[in-house]
Amino acid sequence: MPTLGWAQTIIYPIDAETNFSINRFKCSYHNSTDSVTHESQQGVLQLSLTDTKEVIIYSEGYSPKVLVVFPNSTHQVKLSKPFYNLNEVIVTDIHSKKSFTNTVLNISKISSQQIEQLGAVDLKDALSFQNNIRISRDNAIGSAGLSLMGVSGDNVKLLIDGVPVIGRLFNQLDLEQFNLENMKQIEIIRGPMSVIYGSNALAGSINLITSNDGLKPRFNLNTNYESDGQYNISGTASNRFDNHFVTFSGGRMMFTGWSQTNDDRTFDWIPKEQYSARFQYNYRHDDARINVRSELIRSKLLDRGLPLLPYGETAIDQHYTNFRVDNSLSYENKIGESSIQLIAGNNNFKRIKNKYLKDLITLEEQEVQGKSEQDTQTFNASVFRVIFGPNQKKSRGIETLLGLDANYEVATGNRTKDNEQFQYDVALFGSAEKQFTSYLLLRAGVRYAYNSAFDAPLLYSLQSKVNLGNSQILKLGYGRGFRAPSLKELYLDFSDSRHEVFGNSSLSSESSHSFTGSYTKYSKTGKLESSTSVDAFFNTIQNKIELIVTGPIQAQYGNIGVYQSVGGGLSQNLTHNDFKVNFSFNYTGIYNRVDESKTDFFFSPQFAINPRYTWSDFNTTFSLFVNHFGAVSRVFSDEDNSNLNIQEQDAYTMMDATIHKLWGGKRFKTTLGVRNILGVVNVNANTTNVGAHTPNTSFISISPGTTYFMTIRYELFK
Amino acid sequence: MNYLNKITFVLIVTIVSCFPKEEKVEPSPRIYQSVSIDAGPNKNDVVFYSLDEGKIVAKASPMDWDLHITPNAVQINYFRSMSVANATTNWENTDDTTGLSFSFLTDQLNDSLTQWELLEDQIYVVNMGFDNEYNSMGFMVLKVDRTSNGVVLKYKDLDGNNEFVNEIVEDDFYFNLRNDTKLYLPKTKEYDLALGKYTDYITVDDVSQDYTIYGLILGDASAYLLNDDFEKINASNFDQTQLSNRKDIIGWDWKRFNLDKNAYEILPDMTYLISTNSAYPCKLRFVDYLNDQGISGHPTFEYEIL
């Protein structure tokens, strides 16, 4: 036997998700005349090859993989399950299994393609049709907030490239401040992330991932017009210089204001002009990676007042100017088999409110003097986080991460108690993950924090992912979360002649227990690909902080007691050739123990459906976005629970339709669309005082009615 | 090139967009008597105005006086948020506020008394209100007795110190208990309107409480509110039977604070019909609460003798 001419080529496949070996598999290749197939049930094949071959490795339940093998070589082949979209890398998960199906996190993402199809300009647009997210807008201050799984946005952490963002107005971050130019994807984690991210991550986290890498230079220009008065322009330019990658992006968003009836000089939706600029630098060398991001946002809002009666010759106008400067540096590297991640960031947020008396005869305006008439608030937050991942091989396959997280925030302004207040916390946290069998992935985390203003509880979490076979995944999670009272809630007093809002330095932190679970089944029948998910959650928050009315004009932040949200849902994604549809339904109940006599949850349904069809021959995608929000009720109290109020908000449905087309050699992307086809502007919000039986009807603004929009995106390099 | 033109057009549209411009309004002619009041720093000043004479007759600080004695009543200074409680023990033993219930006397439970009026021969513990910096001025004990040609004022600090008994042979004057002096400010017949800060029991959003607020208190005039267009109202609209003797019938609620706009605004069609001290019918409305720099505490009202 001519053994010297036959070299042994060893092939052993492993599961790309779990790294466990795959015992039963086949390997095929062509020799000079025939197709040869070998089969193994021991997880390894030894092929006798005389020259280089292209082989196909396949195993039941996995996508086939083609690779080129050489004589006398060993090949470890990672096989992936077909529906798991393993290329869809996630960033928010700090552990190494960074794909959607590998992680224990209950996570979803909005891709840049979906952003384009939706014609979304800012984060509010992008989140408008997401499952179990409700968007709300305060037209008086021109700011949009959200609630996630029935929990308000003050318990949702917002991050840009993993760095927390500050600058909340009435405990909500303004979603309209976050332009989506150069956004790679948006990741939404449902469930507490407090062990990793600390305060505000009690209900979940939203991480905006920017695009800061690539092989080719980019020059993109994006323009958008919407018939309610939006004129937006943004652009990105980037290039690689060896190991260095530099990106500049920026834009201007202009909203000229909108009113349902244009019968005076005021606006229901006040005008806003916003400039943003972002510089990013990325350096890679071997395993080392450095990212620098510097970002500036300036927005100006104009709130015109009604002409003062009886002559209507003067009016009080207010101008709000927001400045946001975010800087961050991240570094990651490998030290032998260990890893290290480091993030340092600083956010500065300044909000200036100026009040003007405007002479409507001359159109001249002058600033109103007086301490209470003008206001500047400044918040500065710094974060430093280092995460060390010891060599996994020395810890029995447990991927362990040990971290230090330090945060410092300072508030200054004439309304802040003693003009300046600060708060810091330093936390140690650890997270350990182990793939026990090919079926079971477990992760446990713990965080101990010291906070300068209050006692932070010990936080811990346990999350699991179980592969049930037949492309089924079960995820179960528990986490303890908390939210530190913000500096505003603690120390910011606001008073003028007519209203007084007091911070409360004796507030306790909110703490929570959260349970999440989801089951997902992937299947493929012919060309029909399907994923079906059923999920459920339960959040209970102790010491919920709310603004409590204490007098005719007085209100103070206080801990109201227990707040709970419970719910579940079903989502279905179907793909058949060029047709895709996503459908989700969820039912969320809210309860707070303000009314001790009642233990009922107020439940509200929500369903979203998003069918889309791509006409490949014409590079055109037609999309419909529908999101129905059921009626919601909540009980709240005033004056130390002496009065009970029930607020009921009517149901409404938002529906958008878009056409997205690529043309000009795919250098141009155009999205035409209609927003809010059903023309919802306001919904009723009745507040009933239980004691006095005095219903009070008001409205909540939803949208400036039906609008038409057009977005043109030009990409110079394809 | 065609693409370039289109892109250029879109770029221009998106870049040049700006905040909406607005048209100038035409000024309206002023045909009524107009009076602008400066309430002073922190709206502390009290301004007395006579509609009959068409002028400000006096301006005072609420710190100047504590009591106003008239032939018919002894009133606490409501422009300083003074309040009183009936003492529950005799003069000698009245030395603390334990168990006392204080009232601003804006509304009297005793129908025989006018607003802010004290009973004779009653021992009161008086909360002296707040100074111009909103500091509490402490408590005093007071008893008023009327004589045939004047009054006897007996008062002391709550701790028993500085006790005085002061008989004054006059029937219309103002008195300062803290420095034991009397002073002369306009008598109620000498002015129609007094503007300043006082305390009222107000209800906002189903919550009620005493609150210090800037408003208008009548002198000897009487008035009522007619919710109608000021300019259309003439003498034929004046209805004597609707006149009220409540001193705060005009009060403060001709204005409101717009929380959204963070500014005071005058409510529409709040026309007050007034019978002046000289019994002339008069219509009055407020047209502003801000001065020309936009600072509140500068009420402007217009009026016309019908």
**What CATH code is carried by the domain that includes residue A331?**
2.40.170.20
Q: A552-566, A704-718, B80-94: lowest mean pLDDT where?
A: A552-566
Phi-psi label, residue A242: left if phi above 0, alpha if psi -120 to 50, beta otherwise: left
pLDDT digits (tens, 9 = 90+) for A493-546: 765 444 567 788 888 888 899 999 999 988 878 888 888 999 999 999 988 887
Of the three residues A40, A56, A79, the one that is the final residue of a domain is A79
Q: Under a CB-based contact definition with an 8 Å cutoff, are residues A567 and A537 in contact?
A: yes
Together in a domain, B50 and B73: no
When scoring A262, A273, A274, A311 by the number of chain B Cβ atoms within 10 A, the one with the most, hence best to mutate, is A311
Helices in A24-136 by DSSP H: which ranges?
112-118, 123-127
Q: Is the pLDDT of residue A18 over 80?
A: no
Q: What is the overall mean pLDDT for chain A?
A: 85
Q: Is the pLDDT of residue A207 over 70?
A: yes
Q: Does B29 touch chain A (CB under 8 A)?
A: no
Picking from A259, A201, A263, A252, the residue whose alpha carbon sits closest to that of residue A230 is A252
Distance CA A8, CA A71 (A): 6
Domain count within chain B: 2
User: E strand or H helix at A197, and its extent?
Assistant: helix A194-197
Q: Is the pLDDT of residue A696 over 60?
A: no
Chain B closest CA to A560's CA: distance in Å?
A: 19
Residue B247 lies inside a defined structural domain of this protein: yes
Residue A204 lies inside a defined structural domain of this protein: no
Residue A85 lies inside a defined structural domain of this protein: no
Reading the block at residue A556, the tokens are 């103070």
Coil/strand/helix, residue A117: helix
Phi, psi of B42 (to 5 degrees): 55, 25
CA-to-CA dists, residue A109 to A100, A183, A188, A350, angstroms: 9, 12, 6, 30
Residue B13 lies inside a defined structural domain of this protein: no
Of the three residues B149, B184, B219, the one that is the final residue of a domain is B184
Contacts of B44 (CB under 8 A, 6+ apart): B61, B62, B132, B196, B197
Q: Under a CB-based contact definition with an 8 Å cutoff, are residues A117 and A129 in contact?
A: no
Distance CA A113, CA A109 (A): 11
Coil/strand/helix, residue A533: strand
Q: Is the pLDDT of residue A124 over 60?
A: yes
Residue A491 lies inside a defined structural domain of this protein: yes
Task: Give residue A634's pLDDT band: very low, low, confident or very high (50, 70, 90).
Answer: low
Q: Is the pLDDT of residue B294 over 50?
A: yes
Helices in A511-588 by DSSP H: which ranges?
none
Residue B15 lies inside a defined structural domain of this protein: no
CB-CB under 8 Å, B14 with A233: yes
Picking from B97, B103, B40, B50, the residue whose alpha carbon sits closest to that of residue B76 is B103
CB-CB under 8 Å, B204 with A553: yes
Separation of CA A278 from chain center: 19
Most confident of A13-27, A159-173, A486-500, B291-305: B291-305
What's the rounded mean pLDDT across residues B249-278? 87
Together in a domain, B38 and B135: no
CB-CB under 8 Å, B265 with A309: yes
Residue B120 lies inside a defined structural domain of this protein: yes
Residue B82 lies inside a defined structural domain of this protein: yes
Most confident of A392-401, A455-464, A493-502: A455-464
Residue A31 lies inside a defined structural domain of this protein: yes
Picking from A435, A500, A579, the residue whose alpha carbon sits closest to that of residue A104 is A435
Separation of CA B284 from chain center: 16
Picking from B105, B77, B93, the residue whose alpha carbon sits closest to that of residue B246 is B105
When scoring A256, A364, A497, A715 by the number of chain B Cβ atoms within 10 A, the one with the most, hence best to mutate, is A497
Of the three residues A62, A79, A96, the one that is the final residue of a domain is A79
Task: Give residue B191's pLDDT band: very low, low, confident or very high (50, 70, 90).
Answer: very high
Together in a domain, B79 and B117: yes
Task: Give residue A296's pLDDT band: very low, low, confident or very high (50, 70, 90).
Answer: very high
pLDDT digits (tens, 9 = 90+) for A211-227: 888 778 999 999 999 99
Residue A122 lies inside a defined structural domain of this protein: no
Domain count within chain A: 2
% pLDDT > 90, chain B: 46
What's the rounded mean pLDDT across residues A155-159? 90
Q: Under a CB-based contact definition with an 8 Å cutoff, are residues B84 and B127 in contact?
A: yes
Of the three residues B117, B151, B184, the one that is the final residue of a domain is B184
Chain B closest CA to A673's CA: distance in Å?
A: 17
**A713 to chain B: nearest residue by CA?**
B7
Picking from A456, A461, A460, A458, the residue whose alpha carbon sits closest to that of residue A483 is A456
Q: What is the overall mean pLDDT for chain B?
A: 88
pLDDT at position A511: 87
Together in a domain, B149 and B79: yes
Distance CA B170, CA B181 (A): 13
For chain B, how many residues are written?
A: 306
Residue A129 lies inside a defined structural domain of this protein: no
Distance CA B284, CA B250 (A): 10
Of the three residues B146, B166, B184, the one that is the final residue of a domain is B184
Phi-psi label, residue A94: left if phi above 0, alpha if psi -120 to 50, beta otherwise: alpha
- What burial letters (b/e) apply to A68-85, b meaning 16+ CB within 10 Å? ebebeeebebebbbebbe
Together in a domain, B259 and B118: no
CB-CB under 8 Å, A712 with B7: yes
pTM exceeds 0.90: no
Residue A190 lies inside a defined structural domain of this protein: no
Q: Under a CB-based contact definition with an 8 Å cutoff, are residues B127 and B108 in contact?
A: no
Q: Is the pLDDT of residue B8 over 80?
A: no
Closest in B25, B205, B260 to A312, CB measured: B25
Residue B259 lies inside a defined structural domain of this protein: yes
Residue B244 lies inside a defined structural domain of this protein: yes
pLDDT at position A331: 94
Q: Does B200 touch chain A (CB under 8 A)?
A: no
What is chain B's Cα-based Rg? 25
Coil/strand/helix, residue B280: coil
Chain B closest CA to A551's CA: distance in Å?
A: 6
CB-CB under 8 Å, B14 with A223: yes
pLDDT digits (tens, 9 = 90+) for A42-85: 889 988 888 888 888 988 777 788 888 888 888 888 887 765 55
Chain B closest CA to A675's CA: distance in Å?
A: 19
pLDDT at position B256: 87
Closest in A231, A353, A373 to B14, CB measured: A231
Together in a domain, B210 and B143: no
Together in a domain, B230 and B296: yes
Q: Is the pLDDT of residue A32 over 80?
A: no
Q: Under a CB-based contact definition with an 8 Å cutoff, are residues A78 and A67 in contact?
A: no
Using a CB-CB cut-off of 8 Å, the residues of chain A touching B267 are 309
pLDDT at position B271: 94
Q: Does B5 touch chain A (CB under 8 A)?
A: no
Together in a domain, B156 and B108: yes
Chain A closest CA to B205's CA: distance in Å?
A: 7
Range(s) of the domain holding residue B225: 33-59+189-305
Range(s) of the domain holding residue A46: 3-79
Coil/strand/helix, residue A84: coil
Using a CB-CB cut-off of 8 Å, the residues of chain A touching B10 are 223, 225, 712
Together in a domain, B134 and B214: no
Residue B2 lies inside a defined structural domain of this protein: no
Together in a domain, B203 and B235: yes
Q: What pairs with residue A366 in β-bridges?
A: A357
% pLDDT > 70, chain A: 90
CB-CB under 8 Å, A639 with B264: no
Using a CB-CB cut-off of 8 Å, the residues of chain B touching A254 are 14, 17-18
Together in a domain, B149 and B194: no
Q: Is the pLDDT of residue A646 over 70?
A: no
Separation of CA B112 from chain center: 23
Q: Is the pLDDT of residue B218 over 70?
A: yes
pLDDT at position A695: 46
Q: Is the pLDDT of residue A275 over 90?
A: yes
Task: Give residue A690's pLDDT band: very low, low, confident or very high (50, 70, 90).
Answer: very low
Reading the block at residue B148, the tokens are 């045939």
pLDDT at position A52: 85
Q: Where are the beta strands (DSSP E) in B22-146?
A: 33-36, 46-50, 55-60, 67-69, 74-76, 83-86, 123-127, 139-146
For chain A, how many residues are written?
A: 718
Q: Does B169 touch chain A (CB under 8 A)?
A: no
pLDDT digits (tens, 9 = 90+) for B40-49: 988 899 999 9
Of the three residues A29, A63, A79, the one that is the final residue of a domain is A79
What's the rounded mean pLDDT across residues A113-130? 91
Using a CB-CB cut-off of 8 Å, the residues of chain B touching A689 are 206
pLDDT at position A502: 77
Closest in B263, B267, B288 to A305, CB measured: B263
Reading the block at residue A259, the tokens are 């009113």
Q: Is the pLDDT of residue A153 over 60?
A: yes
Q: Does B283 touch chain A (CB under 8 A)?
A: no
Using a CB-CB cut-off of 8 Å, the residues of chain A touching B214 are 497
pLDDT at position A1: 39
pLDDT at position A2: 40
User: What residue type is assigned to position B185 of the chain?
Assistant: L
Closest in B26, B207, B288 to A552, CB measured: B207
pLDDT digits (tens, 9 = 90+) for B108-161: 766 677 888 888 888 999 999 988 888 889 999 999 998 888 899 999 999 888
Distance CA A715, CA A182 (A): 12
Together in a domain, B175 and B202: no
Q: % helix / strand / coil in chain A, to the nearest 5?
A: 5, 65, 30
Q: First CA to last CA across chain B, in angstroms?
A: 76
Chain A closest CA to B245's CA: distance in Å?
A: 27
**A356 to chain B: nearest residue by CA?**
B294
Residue A158 lies inside a defined structural domain of this protein: no
Contacts of B259 (CB under 8 A, 6+ apart): A498, A499
Which position has the higher pLDDT, A672 or A287? Answer: A672
The CATH code of the domain that includes A38 is 2.60.40.10
Closest in A254, A361, A553 to B25, CB measured: A361
Query: What does DSSP assign to residue B27?
Result: P
Q: Does B7 touch chain A (CB under 8 A)?
A: yes
